[in-house]
Structure 1
């Protein structure tokens, strides 16, 4: 039974159309900016934590491409008729493309978090497998209920598949909380533990925006609700991908500096955060070779 109206089927006023175009464009630009920042600063951390930087680049790079698709499909998915923008068959991709993005980027967020966590060996491998699997299942089951069945208009399917998706979301929440607790235990009183905790809390809070918006699809009708849904999702994407990524990068830099100070790793450049020098530059010492490149013992 058709019980609800999918957000991409609602007509928009001129103002609503302009607001959505604006937030989609700003979100895409913010994601691209952080991708560039991650690329140029990838060598600010040691190789031990660099997977977190690469994961952040994957998150923002893929999300940026997704927003390009969202903007294009939004532009061609509506036809202006008088004072309204009326959706056509392309409008669905101004929503469905978000699920394509999340199916890849949410697992990468899990990898990004675990890359700077205090876990190692078989434990981190096991948690990575569970986290990536739960993330993919969370998004894909939500996609089935929110888009696939009756083009998202069957409220029964929406809630059934939403509940199934929520089970996998709870698994992710337990994983993030476990990482935070372990970080506080293994790095007591350090800036790394505090930043890791804040990053995890930010992710947990931001992720709540997605089921809320998913639920709005079950009762919301009209362009105003559609506009709010697009705005909330775009802002949540910026926070969850850019804000979280910036915190993870900071954790990686702090932990890199800690390893350098303890003499268990090296980095050619000094580590700085907010104009504060955390560690000096170091060079990998090769037996038999001086730092200048000459053989040891030569004069």
Structure 2
């Protein structure tokens, strides 16, 4: 396991974007705040119930922090977390995912986490280049992508890129991918938490986004609270437009979409569009699950995901 280094960011003086700052980064405005957050991140990683390693990958758009687990000979499964949740959010899932797959969990560089962007913002094409550099660094082939919420949108976007090596994609309540918000009032608790971070607004957020908030480990809850208290993530909602019929039709690889029956972001209405336009898609609703279905119903989520990955097409 390798410790995170703030000094590593200085190598981007002549790479990528021309507008940047070196210390500390675009998400945290002081080294002390960053260190407090990273300490909470590392505490959550203690919940990672399989052996893992942390490594940094240099790209033209920043440093990608990657948590790796599973057999070296396993087919790659790349995990894309939800907004500000960081890769540590996969603590209830990684054991099952990494039993046979080589799992790579990547922190998004303009949100709280250990990745660092050298640009104050990244457009979609730049973000795709960022991830492609990581895939090439690890020489990935037959890549499986799994994303939740914002991560699900990004996974879909990457599947649309030409000459990719993606085998299957899995979308857990993907935000903005098919359009609309099921319950805007409850979704706004996320905006409230970002604007007014406090233990109270954090509780309201988890109660809205999770159907089983008591299942969420308090260590991870504290990490997310500190992400909003100390961090200043760069929302990408304006970059995340719903995909067109033509784009969805062009996705020929197998696609799995899961949502919770108490999901405040997506309802079963998205399945109508998915089945109409995506040639090879499977969908399912997890009972007693909210937007945080990967935690609310981790065992069922893990089972369905692994069965989908293992299926020969």
Larger of the two Rg values belongs to structure: 1
Question: In proportion to residue count, which structure has more helix?
Answer: 1
Question: In proportion to residue count, which structure has more strand?
Answer: 2
Instruction: Say yes or no: TM over 0.5.
Output: no
TM-score by length of 1: 0.25
Query: Higher RCO, 1 or 2 (CA under 8 Å, sep at least 6)?
Result: 1
